[in-house]
Structure 1
């Protein structure tokens, strides 16, 4: 039995005409005009902030910091490409055209072209930002342009590697792990460069005579790899393309509907779908829900490693006001404690399990707060110890202050994990900029609002004075009282069902 291949262009034109039949004439031009005007207005408002990010008045980074930024930014670009595909189709195209008798290469080629353009633009912006923070202002425009072109070519090359990994086997996971290690090394290098005074990278930049042949060779390699990628484009498995299409569609739904739970649910499902679970015997005296959270944390060892590395990130704010360092420490409590809060959604959706265990809602939430509190306290203690070792914080028992932040992190993470869907039924607010729906804003602050319990720590770090044990005791009392008040106000010892916090 032979399959007749139908030309794809007429099919796409018919689909385009059908989809746009309800639109008014000039609607597409109006959308383009609005997009260009929006970018121009935002650029005009934030041009000073953008200049600080991409091209400050003077270089302010050393060679180590510049190399670390290269590893971080381009590593993040590659990992983002891998998470989004990079080869994907729209959900209607994935549903109706994947199995249709059309040219598979021509079907996927527009997606590859769009991904290459986006990767090149992002890489050029990253390259300009790195050059702006490291290169001397005496550098010629030709050299800056060549370096920007080289960054764009590197971005396209990373896209092609990600594309091959998407179509390949396990070696793609090995490349992902290698890029993750490179990203971690970049973070360590950036923290080291921030903690140590090093000379700026104002010398040793190549000239046009060196860059031209290098860029030409890189362009030739990218062209050859692109031709090979287009030639073997049809070999990408259907399940990989469908998975990337679901990712892009879920991200669009989450942004358009302002509902972040769509994205978090997808991430959770994919994490557990790819794991092979093993039974682990824990001490019998350990409470049941605490043991379940401990199993969850032990199955997320990679996230624990990233959390351990993140304890050094507040060091990057050493040149900023001290209160910003305190804000960074408090914000870090949320992801640290949130590592162990994934089971709370199961409790809310399955109250029968709590009923069989003989636990009330208050007892259940109290057990769920144990491990997040431990993780948050340990993370804050290590972060403050690092800051004190680098003379960012004055003398005092900062490690103890970090430990007593555990109840604050537990309350914030549990409060965030118990949040429900965005309440779009709330009445909109009229502002000078237009109508604003308060539902997404309320959903956004649920969880971080409990970090206000760490106000004594924020004040102490902002003052820059030696720490006393009285402040540690004050923070402990405030954290425990606040966590207890949240527990009493959102749970009941008589009922089992967990209402949304």
Structure 2
């Protein structure tokens, strides 16, 4: 019976999603202007390039060929062929890169309004190209080389950003659209790219299999230990812990940093440390810059009604790297208690620098909310500015919620599900960050006055800064009771000593 209910639910939800995609595809395909045709081709192209960059980055991070610590301990030293053991390890990375890139690009292409033959061409190019690049990363792993992979990753990421910039320029009417609207030529180009990716994957796979014996055991085990460390976080659906593991690995590879002297006193010293971290990790600005392209791309696709929600989610991903101090202080209670400040004060100080970045993001994204597409403006300047600032507030609060979410408490009463007993907070981990963005931007999406979103955002800020921290209030109450008891004991034991000679 449970299997029947699960199968029926999967079919029903799948049918709903397919219906939504088909409806969106039909609506987008109804736009016949040259600007719409150009944007319809450019957005899936940017997705293909982004899939290439992500495939190379993930492959370089994990291996892509890896082995567990147990296998590295006894199988790698055994007198057997290492090639026979590792040959099957190439199948899963290739399959995952193929499916994820293909399905994601197909979804973006369908939502952009491409014809189904064009969706097939773009998705095949992304799938076969990503699989071929993973095979290339595996061949480089056998030679202990990562420089070429890093260069290609940077090239594809830069190309994706450049295509998004062209999308914005076309939507604003800054570039001619006649050349970019040639759908037939672009379809053949991506079909050829898919064929080249398939051929490259086969050739590089053969080269990699022939050189699997040359991979060092330390390189194989490092990727396996990273995967095993992330599995526990995945079981708990704790994506913040997954990011912590990745940050720790990157810092271990970096080795050391140059210490600098702090400035200021009190909470100002914490704010200054966050300012110094901006210089230490300039790569974090890349994600923030990419999130700034999202509202312009959404406006170019004429999805202005959902622009606050989609752009707010993109800003959440862009601001998370700047909330490292808040992450450490929220997860390490002992460290936070060493400061002579309350939780609300610490969290407010660690939000200061990300809040300034969110404010700059909102000002830079204002033209997208006003409307830069050639079809005309969607909002007035005042309404667009307020929508952009509220979106930046929603992104900041979503990032703070994502970073400060508590761990799953397995001591609470379990919730009965068809998959077994689960703690209630486990499912909510999937929606942290997204819930705050949806809550704050809902009045804008429903076309209510902007001050409703502002009021909701201020309430969310008051809650997330720890203004009503039950643990802190209980600790203060216990301390007050303890001091009162000590005072009473002191009054009982106090004896009056007469003055000498009196």
| Residues 77/446 of structure 1: CA separation in 2 closer, same or farther (3 Å cut) | closer
Q: Distance in 2 between the 1:477 and 1:215 partners? A: 50
2:498 is aligned to: none
Q: Distance in 1 between the 2:395 and 2:119 partners? A: 45
Q: Distance in 2 between the 1:84 and 1:343 partners? A: 26
Q: Which of 355, 358, 368 is the equivalent residue of 2:340?
A: 358
Q: Which of 297, 304, 308 is the equivalent residue of 1:316?
A: 297
Q: Which of 270, 279, 284 is the equivalent residue of 2:249?
A: 270
1:343 is aligned to: 325
The CA RMSD measured in Å over matched residues stands at: 4.6
Q: Distance in 2 between the 1:89 and 1:241 partners? A: 5
Q: Is the 8 A contact 2:367 2:384 kept in 1?
A: yes
Unaligned runs of 5+ in 2: 31-35, 477-502
Q: Distance in 2 between the 1:134 and 1:401 partners? A: 27
* Shift in Å, 1:102: 2.2
Q: Distance in 2 between the 1:36 and 1:103 partners? A: 43
Deviates more, 1:367-376 or 1:386-395: 386-395
| Residues 321/444 of structure 1: CA separation in 2 closer, same or farther (3 Å cut) | same
SS of the residue corresponding to residue 283 of structure 2 reads helix
Q: Is the 8 A contact 1:453 1:482 kept in 2?
A: no
| Residues 107/430 of structure 1: CA separation in 2 closer, same or farther (3 Å cut) | closer
* Shift in Å, 1:304: 1.2
| TM-score under structure 1 length normalisation | 0.71
Question: In the alignment, does 2:225 pair up with 1:225?
Answer: no
* Shift in Å, 1:37: 10
1:187 is aligned to: 164
Q: Distance in 2 between the 1:350 and 1:438 partners? A: 23
Q: Distance in 2 between the 1:215 and 1:375 partners? A: 39
Q: Distance in 2 between the 1:127 and 1:363 partners? A: 44
2:360 is aligned to: 378
Question: In the alignment, does 2:30 pair up with 1:48?
Answer: no
Figure out how many residues of one structure are paired with residues of the other and give that number: 450
| Residues 365/464 of structure 1: CA separation in 2 closer, same or farther (3 Å cut) | closer
Query: Could you give the per-residue CA deviations for residues 185-216 of structure 1, whole angstroms, max 9, x where no partner exists?
Result: 243344445555946443336779x989x988
1:3-82 maps to which residues of 2 (within 5 A)? 46-49=17-20, 61-62=37-38, 63-82=41-60
Query: Could you give the per-residue CA deviations for residues 82-123 of structure 1, whole angstroms, max 9, x where no partner exists?
Result: 334221235543454233332111111111133334444455
Q: Distance in 1 between the 2:109 and 2:454 partners? A: 46
* Shift in Å, 1:258: 2.8
Q: Is the 8 A contact 1:429 1:437 kept in 2?
A: yes
Please identify the structure whose Cα radius of gyration is greater.
Answer: 2
| Residues 148/315 of structure 1: CA separation in 2 closer, same or farther (3 Å cut) | closer
2:66 is aligned to: 88
1:199-348 maps to which residues of 2 (within 5 A)? 200-204=181-185, 222-275=201-254, 276-281=256-261, 283-284=263-264, 287-318=268-299, 319=301, 322-348=304-330
Question: In the alignment, does 2:463 pair up with 1:463?
Answer: no
* Shift in Å, 1:288: 1.9
Q: Distance in 1 between the 2:429 and 2:84 partners? A: 42
* Shift in Å, 1:218: 6.7
Question: In the alignment, does 2:91 pair up with 1:113?
Answer: yes
| Residues 109/56 of structure 1: CA separation in 2 closer, same or farther (3 Å cut) | farther
Kindly indicate which of the two structures has a greater share of residues assigned to helix: 2
Deviates more, 1:103-112 or 1:297-306: 297-306
| TM-score under structure 2 length normalisation | 0.71
2:138 is aligned to: 163
Q: Is the 8 A contact 1:378 1:403 kept in 2?
A: no
